[in-house]
Structure 1
């Protein structure tokens, strides 16, 4: 069975009374938890995950004087505020700060970007904070750009390596241009100091947006006034290189094109959206285009997302979890003062679902400023500010299916569900995932009646999440034999999950549904509370040879409905042929001999043979084992041999035997192979058995060779050869150690006789080995004699008479006289 695969809807928030709304549950106080209620204005909150089911929220804060500062707070999954009441200050500059963006650092912290305005100029800064709220860089952050003029309206994305890419509009020249910079998590700038130039065309380039290219670079887009308001784009690689020779005109139709957005699309493309007035200076529509890294457009003509006699605006984008995208916006097709929330889905192949958009909420009065998160399966959840009560704004949400429909009765269909209502206005909601089946939303809130605004947040259990194996593989089985398995599915989401149907389904024309059987030991419908599981017993009985496939379909109210789990098995009708007996070579006692037997196993049947286990039986079984083979099961195709490695480890001298029992899918029993081996110990002799050197003059040296012979059938290892006895200093040895002498083999060493005085010299040569007789020794001796002397004292009593004739003839006797 393969690794479980989780399908999770994204997170959203919602309803009022959990007892009557099982599809939604507010996890904190019904009106939200306060993130910051300090004096003055707190506005424009943005949030990212804290990596543990909570969030880090940043905002502009005017609690002191009239100049905003940047603050941030962390809220845990339980609604606690570990950084203290009202957050921590991120910016440290004296002049007014403006919020630029926040992205996760990939752990428990975040990057926060902001700019300050002072004396008609503004500079751009970046700070990184950890999960404890501590700044990781200098007070006030590091400088992104402090060039002349204004650096403002920045946006930021992760770079895929733990750092960030940030883009901004830059007024260092005669008009606004687009610059960008990439930073590591240590705060090191990787591109040109003060920013890499992205576009400096004539006129203003304003309000940049960017999206990752999945390769540490980014796609950029902006509103461009080189003629009139149009949309342009550029692609920048990971090293900061501008990839396209010229800025790419995304849309340069008549009238204005404004408010561009961009989102990653597939592996190497991006989808671009914008608000477009080509149909008339007072009629805005929404358009999109998909462009790859080569600058090629997917659509010949820009794709019109929405059209009406009135305006569409405030578009928000997110991915759909399936290599496509989701777009949500405010739509005034019902009337200039009747803003509703609409959406469309763009599939991975560029197909657009929905006829000019489907309504998420078309309730009376105004719904606006929607944001959305994906459920990972093509659907999603949207939240917006809603003035249906006619006098102030509340926060609502709705759920969307992968077909782009809002047809869930428990979500009030097109009306949506209340997240929070309170005195005065609740505005500008933002939403992120809070874990499987959970959502986190924050907003700024005017409930205090002081004409100011505070920051509040809520965590909502909104969805079940069905976890399941991505496939079931029964493996290789003999035709007609049945094997069993159990499929486990479970709810790892936040709300109850209802399984409405489980069935085995596939087309008999090209699959094999009859080979797979489901045993319904459960009742349908079945409700799984969070954490509950459900077991589905299955069996596989192959009806033929080869791949056998089917599928298990599970219907539920989870976002990914329906779940399709592929079922697979391989039918086979093999036959196992084994060697009858294998005799090991003579093996040294205490050693292990591994031998590969090429023809030990063979599949002589049809289909795949699986060797499922091998055991050893008999009194000597412990002395035999398998060698370094692959793990079971061993697979043999038709007519294939398997070269099996087996080992023999004798613990004594003599013959040993065992029965190797081979089990396979060819039958219910085993095929038996007799293994035999003989244990032996090494034996050592020297040739010669003793060594005698003839008389040797002192201070001279003579040498002789000795052969160490192994008279056994197993390896002999000689580890030391040393001199001992009466005169070891009169001899020397030259031997390569250790000697590893194969059975019936020999290896020589050299003995030197180097007498330093006259007379008989004697020593022992001692050989240490793994032979049972070790240590073995042999005698070596020799006689030292006179090298030279003028008249040695022992010879002075002798004299040689005159020798005649001269020269001496062969064998002529000499006369000696003793005095």
Structure 2
């Protein structure tokens, strides 16, 4: 007989204190040698890898090969979960390349690819028009939508597409946008739900702007309500960027010229976490050939108001044509910005943090490696407000790869020299470098490289919050999360968090189990009991509306969701802000 959990008597304050002060290292499959890394050896070429978090400390990787597009899930210890060959995402063979991957919120992923197969079949290989497809795979690697994928944009003669973007803020709907050469050149959007059903007209809905899109560069972030904010170059304007809003319903409430943010070109964008965006760019104050420029950063809210003045804030007065800023949000309405410029006659790398009011809190410099603007670094942010970036040292012939980290308070825990994460004793470079967070302050990176076998294979490396290769750091919090049998159940991260106006609490059971799911406050007092019954094997999702057992709205603050499965517990934090 299964046991009920009505007498869960372990002192909650004692559990939480242990979570805060204790940590441990766990054995892992990951390599700890930058000369070796973790390589997925295959007798075929594997190219264009992409990676996203699985929200459980591991990652999902997708790539292209002659057999089609495949994906594999690697857990936080470095073990592949979908076999040595991975799971198929697309139909077999063809001419396909993955372009985007994001988590689906349930341990799986949504993957976008461009497809040239039809053009090659029609015999137009010199100037082929591509198509766009999307597929969702679950945490077991199974395709959930049509086995051929869902077509987002079919082939149109003399009209290619590119610069695909996909995002979601609730994992129930996904917004996809792209640049399209249909006359006039334009950006298009499409929405698809968790079941693979598209919402707008076939081949997407055009985004109305005041002129045609003669420059495909643009960046998108979530508006916090299922839609997106799109930053682009504004046509017929003085080197400025403009922001457009696309709602979840496919409406365009802002003017067709967009909202000018006066940050200049070479822009980067990140969400401010409150439905708005933060944009950084390079604004030239004098024309060529002098090319005098400054770096500007601006915040725009969900209503289209500029919050940091008409011209934003200056993060450097010494920008030039090689300066390209990059951003991550600080999870408090501000952002960290990184760039390189020539200060005092020497090229240097800088990082600065601006708070939600546009005040620069600190600036640090002196990193060993700066990089040319044409070499885009791989940038990672996390929920602690830190920034990590990966860069290849082109001063060597071995393709040395370094990682740097700056915390939210401006400290540099991995040093100004960075952490060497890849080195080869032969001349070989990493290609298609991508990375994702590991949920513990570190990251997992993937790239493609030519092996001694002459095959192009994937290499991966995990780096811990301590800057150590292959070290899996677990806290007492995680020890309570990981059962004796690691796959008995998985408690996914609550979303959206903060709660707005409900939060989704989802979990996976490997076998039928007695389950208790409850919400407690900081003192351990039970607020509401959401589940207390046997449940079947599989995925389960429970919604909490921020109310107590007697249906009263709880006060703003931090709460903990406790999931008990056959005497083993996991805890997730939820923030309530009414």
Q: Bin the TM-score by the shorter chain.
A: 0.5 to 0.7
Aligned residue among 128, 131, 134 for 2:136: 128
Partner of 1:49: 53
Q: Could you tell me which of 404, 409, 420 is aligned with 1:403?
A: 409
**CA–CA distance in 2 between the matches of 1:360 and 1:146?**
49
Match of 1:359 in 2: 365
Does residue 369 (structure 1) correspond to residue 344 (structure 2)? The answer is no
SS class of match (2:80): coil
The answer to whether the 8 Å contact 1:92/1:139 transfers is: yes
CA contact (8 A) 1:373 1:382 kept: yes
Is 1:163–1:184's contact at 8 Å kept on the other side of the alignment? yes
| Cα distance between partner residues in 1 of 2:287 and 2:42 | 45
Greater Rg over alpha carbons, structure: 1
Deviation at 1:125, TM superposition (A): 1.3
2:211 match? 202
Q: Tell me whether 1:344 sits opposite 2:336 in the alignment.
A: no
- Residue 304 in 1 paired to residue 314 in 2? yes
Contact 1:373 1:380 in 2 (8 A): yes
Q: Would you say the 8 A contact 2:222–2:275 is kept in 1?
A: no
Aligned residue in 2 for 1:114: 113
Q: Which moved more, 1:117-126 or 1:183-192?
A: 117-126
Please state if 1:191 is matched with 2:200. Answer: yes
- Pairwise CA RMSD of aligned residues? 3.9
Q: Deviations over 1:100-148 (max 9, x none)?
A: 2111000111011122243442222111111222222223311112273
Which residues in structure 2 correspond to 1:245-324 (within 5 Å)? 245-251=255-261, 257-281=264-288, 283=291, 286-298=295-307, 299-308=309-318, 310-324=320-334
Aligned to 2:39, what secondary structure does the other structure show? strand
Structural mapping, 1:682-721, within 5 Å: none
Where does the alignment leave 5 or more consecutive residues of structure 2 unmatched? 1-11, 481-521, 524-548, 551-578
Give SS of 2:403's match.
strand
In 2, the alpha carbon distance for the partners of 1:38 and 1:273 equals: 44
Cα gap change, 1:107/1:398 in structure 2, threshold over 3 Å: closer, same or farther? same
The one of 124, 144, 147 aligned to 1:139: 147
- Hey, what's the Cα distance between the residues in 1 that align with 2:43 and 2:205? 39
**Alpha-carbon separation, structure 2, partners of 1:529 and 1:143:** 42
Show the counterpart of 2:63. Answer: 59
Query: Partner residue of 1:812?
Result: none
Question: Could you tell me how far 1:437 is from its partner in structure 2?
Answer: 4.5
The match for 1:80 is 79
The answer to whether the 8 A contact 1:286-1:304 is kept is yes
Residues 310 and 333, structure 1, Cα contact 8 Å, conserved in 2: no
Report whether the alignment pairs 1:216 with 2:218: no
Q: Please say if 1:233 is aligned against 2:240.
A: no
| Residues 1:392 and 2:392 aligned together | no
SS of residue matched to 1:143? strand
Tell me the CA shift for residue 186 of structure 1.
Answer: 0.2
Q: Take 1:444 and 1:334, find their aligned partners in 2: how far apart are those partners?
A: 38
Tell me, in whole angstroms, the C-alpha distance in 2 between the residues paired with 1:428 and 1:329.
21
In structure 2, what is the Cα distance between the partners aligned to 1:79 and 1:72?
A: 15
Q: Secondary structure of the residue that 1:361 maps to in structure 2?
A: coil
Q: Tell whether 2:41 aligns with 1:33.
A: no
Task: Please state whether the residue corresponding to 1:152 is helix, strand or coil.
Answer: strand
1:91 matched residue in structure 2 = 90
Change (3 A) 1:56 1:279: farther
Within a 5 Å distance, the mapping from 1:518-533 to structure 2 comes to: none
- Deviation of the 1:47 alpha carbon: 0.9
Query: TM-score, structure 1 length as denominator?
Result: 0.48
Q: Which residue of 1 aligns with 2:181?
A: 171
Q: 1:150: how far off? A: 2.1
TM-fit CA distance, 1:184: 0.6
C-alpha change, 1:237 and 1:32, in structure 2 (3 Å) is: same
Higher relative contact order (CA 8 A, sep 6+): 2
Specify every segment of 5 or more residues in structure 1 that has no aligned partner in the other structure, as ranges. Answer: 9-17, 465-492, 498-527, 533-566, 569-629, 632-819
More strand by share: 1
Q: Alpha carbons of 1:309 and 1:230: their partners in 2 closer, same or farther (altered >3 Å)?
A: closer
Residues 464-483 of structure 1 correspond to what in structure 2 (within 5 A)?
Answer: none
Secondary structure of the corresponding residue to residue 130 of structure 2:
strand
Q: CA deviation at 1:263?
A: 1.6
**Correspondence 1:781-796 to 2 at 5 A:** none
The whole-number CA distance in structure 2 between the counterparts of 1:115 and 1:159 is: 23
Deviations, residues 70-123 of structure 1 (Å, cap 9, x unaligned): 332222222222323343443338753343211100011101112224344222
Q: Is the 8 A contact 1:36 1:86 kept in 2?
A: no
Instruction: Output one character per residue of 1:732-782: Cα deviation in whole Å (capped at 9) or x when no partner.
Output: xxxxxxxxxxxxxxxxxxxxxxxxxxxxxxxxxxxxxxxxxxxxxxxxxxx
Q: Distance in 2 between matches of 1:244 and 1:59?
A: 37
Corresponding position: 1:462 with 2:500: no
CA distance in 2: counterparts of 1:59 and 1:494, whole angstroms: 25
CA distance in 1, matches of 2:333, 2:224: 12
Measured against aligned partners, the alpha-carbon deviations of 1:370-401 in whole angstroms (never above 9, x if no partner) come to: 3333453433333222235x323222122313
The equivalent of 2:416 in structure 1 is: 414
Could you say which residue in structure 2 is the equivalent of 1:182? 191
The CA deviation string for residues 301-337 of structure 1, in whole angstroms up to 9 with x for no partner, is: 13333343644445433222333222334556587xx
